[in-house]
């Protein structure tokens, strides 16, 4: 770790503890502080070791969010979805200001449209916009040892929150149901906010009981995640949580060769020289229009090669956000006709596919362990939101299967180790 980064991390710890320490002398709080200190320390240590190992294992030069290739230059017209996807990052510092006029009504429309396109439950995403409610919700969501990491929110003038609620039984099932679609809708909202230059951040470290009680939801519901939004403060090199996490997380992404596999798990996907002529992307590249085409299944002519479609979808997944930036996902690209057919049958695909991308991840990870959420499902669903929007941006008809798939058969066809679960398969039509 660079000395500057060590200093910044230390300052982050101090920033978290000192104010609370001075506010109260209660012994319980001191105990909580001590435990929290160790938790921070453990996260930093594990993150650091993990990062170093990963960087050793791959080539550190490629562990960045730098585009794998200049995709927009391959298009005849504006392929601007890329700009939005690369511009999106988690913001943890905001400035005062009113939300853009019409933001909330158009966001509610977007949620409705996305829920239809993704077959998710629109009632699972709650938009909170009243100042007092936001303040109270932020205060309550940070309660508890594991959630203090988000205390930066207390100092931030956030102007909106999205709260995700789902039936608890769906969260703890062996194979969580229905969450994927809801998470995809939530990530659609994140990209929609990015288009409007509104900053946002996914929040997993929240006190879900406090949030559920505040929302007056019944006890069968859980609120595993929130997304905050506001006017992002321009990044400066000041030792604050936003800059620290931007440096250590936002800029870092695994290369395609370590998250994608060619035909079978373990055979790295190789980024090749593409023989591409210019492609014609969808005329309207905004998230709303893309969701509309997905919902209507109405695309213009797709002139992108299969190789470019696959690589673009993988790249869109690569730059998606994941809890703690773990990027534990694996995408297995299947292009062999017979195997495609078997995969399609195993997940109930209704159309004929030219290729399949299987999305899998290990069920447990550091974040899941600490926060007790199925992050393998959550992170992969976010990636699927990016992949499907990217396919639509190339006018590429596709079919995403996440419900009722025969996980064992798909796992065998992809050569997945038993600890790696498959969430869904994207079929390219």
Residue 356 bridge partners (DSSP): 334, 427
- Phi, psi (rounded to 5 degrees) for 334: -110, 120
Residue 67: phi and psi, rounded to 5, are -55, 140
Kindly tell me which of 90 and 165 has the beta carbon lying closer to ligand FMN.
90
Residue 416 burial by CB count (10 A; 0-12/13-18/19+): exposed, middle or buried?
buried
Nearer to ligand FMN, 324 or 349 (CB): 324
8 Å CB contact between 361 and 328: yes
Residues in region 367-426 near ligand FMN by CB under 6 A: 378-379, 382
Binding segment for ligand FMN (CB under 6 A), chosen from 25-33, 93-101, 197-205, 295-303, is 197-205
- Within 24-79, residue ranges assigned H as helices are 27-57
Choose among 282, 352, 356, 273: nearest CA to 314: 356
Could you say which residues in the range 86-105 bind ligand FMN, by CB under 6 A? 89-90, 92
**CA-CA distances (angstroms) from residue 169 to 69, 165, 166, 222, 225?**
43, 12, 8, 9, 16
Q: Report the residue number, 14 or 408, with the smaller CB distance to ligand FMN.
A: 14
Q: How far is the CB of 222 from ligand FMN (least distance, A)?
A: 14
As measured in angstroms, the least distance from the Cβ of 176 to ligand FMN is 13
Residue 226 or 355: which CB sits closer to ligand FMN? 226
- Residue 379 CB, shortest distance to ligand FMN, in Å, is 6
* Interacting residue with ligand FMN among 117, 161, 191, 205 (CB under 6 A): 205
Site for ligand FMN in 261-280 (CB under 6 A): none
Q: Position of tokens 């679960």?
A: 421
Yes or no: say if 358 and 371 are a contact pair by the CB < 8 Å rule. Answer: no
**Interaction between residue 151 and ligand FMN (CB under 6 A):** no
Find the binder of ligand FMN among 249, 347, 401, 420 (CB under 6 A).
Answer: 249
**Residue written as tokens 């905004």?**
286
| Cβ atoms of residues 288 and 103 within 8 Å | no
Measured from the CB of residue 318, what is the shortest distance to ligand FMN in angstroms? 11
Neighbours of 360 (CB within 10 A): 26
| Residues 315 to 344 in contact with ligand FMN, rule: CB under 6 A | 321-325
Query: Torsion over CA of 161, 167, 169 and 173, rounded to 10 degrees?
Result: -50
- State the Cα–Cα distance between residues 223 and 165, nearest whole angstrom: 4
Total interface residues for ligand FMN by CB under 6 A: 20
**Contact between 283 and 77 (Cβ < 8 Å):** yes
**Is the Cβ of residue 94 or residue 299 nearer to ligand FMN in the bound state?**
94
Residue closer to ligand FMN by CB (options 125, 308) is 125
Query: Read out DSSP for 376-418?
Result: HHHHHHHHHHHHHHHHHHTT--EEEE-SS--HHHHHHHHT--T
**205 vs 414 by CB, closer to ligand FMN:** 205
Residue 106 Cβ vs ligand FMN, minimum distance, rounded to whole Å = 23
Residue closer to ligand FMN by CB (options 148, 347) is 148
Q: What is the closest distance, in whole angstroms, from the C-beta atom of residue 272 to ligand FMN in the complex?
A: 26
Task: Give whichever of 152 and 299 is closer to ligand FMN, judged by the CB atom.
Answer: 152
Question: Where on the chain is the footprint of ligand FMN (CB under 6 A)?
Answer: 89-90, 92, 150, 201-205, 225, 249-250, 321-325, 378-379, 382
């Amino acid at each position: 770790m660079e000395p500057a980064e060590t200093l910044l991390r230390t300052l982050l710890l101090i920033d978290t503890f000192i104010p609370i320490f001075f506010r109260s002398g209660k012994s319980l709080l001191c105990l909580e502080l001590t435990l929290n200190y160790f938790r921070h320390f453990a996260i930093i240590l594990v993150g650091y070791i993990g990062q170093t190992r990963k960087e050793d294992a791959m080539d550190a030069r490629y562990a960045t969010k730098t585009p794998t290739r200049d995709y927009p230059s391959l298009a005849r017209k504006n392929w601007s979805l890329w700009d939005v996807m690369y511009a999106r990052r988690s913001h943890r510092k905001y400035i005062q200001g009113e939300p853009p006029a019409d933001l909330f009504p158009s966001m509610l429309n977007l949620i409705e449209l996305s829920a239809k396109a993704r077959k998710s439950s629109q009632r699972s995403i709650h938009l909170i916009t009243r100042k007092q409610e936001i303040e109270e919700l932020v205060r309550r969501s940070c309660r508890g040892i594991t959630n203090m990491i988000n205390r930066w929110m207390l100092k931030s003038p956030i102007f909106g929150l999205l709260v995700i609620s789902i039936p608890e039984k769906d969260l703890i099932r062996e194979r969580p149901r229905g969450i994927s679609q809801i998470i995809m809708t939530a990530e659609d909202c994140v990209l929609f906010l990015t288009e409007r230059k509104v900053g946002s951040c996914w929040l997993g470290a929240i006190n879900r009981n406090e949030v559920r009680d505040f929302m007056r939801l019944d006890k069968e519901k859980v609120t595993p995640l929130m997304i905050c939004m506001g006017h992002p403060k321009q990044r400066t090199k000041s030792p604050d949580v936003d800059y620290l996490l931007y440096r250590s997380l936002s800029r870092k992404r695994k290369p395609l060769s370590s998250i994608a596999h060619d035909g079978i798990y373990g055979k790295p996907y190789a980024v090749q020289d593409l023989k591409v002529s210019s492609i014609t992307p969808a005329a309207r590249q905004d998230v709303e229009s893309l969701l509309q085409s997905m919902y209507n299944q109405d695309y213009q002519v797709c002139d992108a090669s299969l190789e470019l479609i696959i690589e673009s979808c993988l790249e869109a997944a690569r730059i998606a956000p994941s809890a703690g930036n773990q990027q534990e996902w694996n995408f297995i690209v299947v292009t062999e006709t017979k195997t495609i057919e078997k995969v399609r049958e195993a997940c109930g695909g209704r159309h004929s596919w030219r290729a399949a991308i299987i999305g899998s991840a290990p069920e447990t990870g550091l974040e899941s362990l600490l926060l007790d959420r199925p992050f393998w499902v959550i992170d992969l669903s976010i990636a699927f939101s990016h992949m499907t929007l990217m396919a639509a941006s190339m006018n590429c008809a596709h079919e995403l299967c996440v419900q009722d798939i025969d996980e064992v058969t798909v796992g065998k066809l992809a050569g997945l180790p038993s600890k790696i679960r498959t969430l869904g398969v994207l079929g390219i039509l």
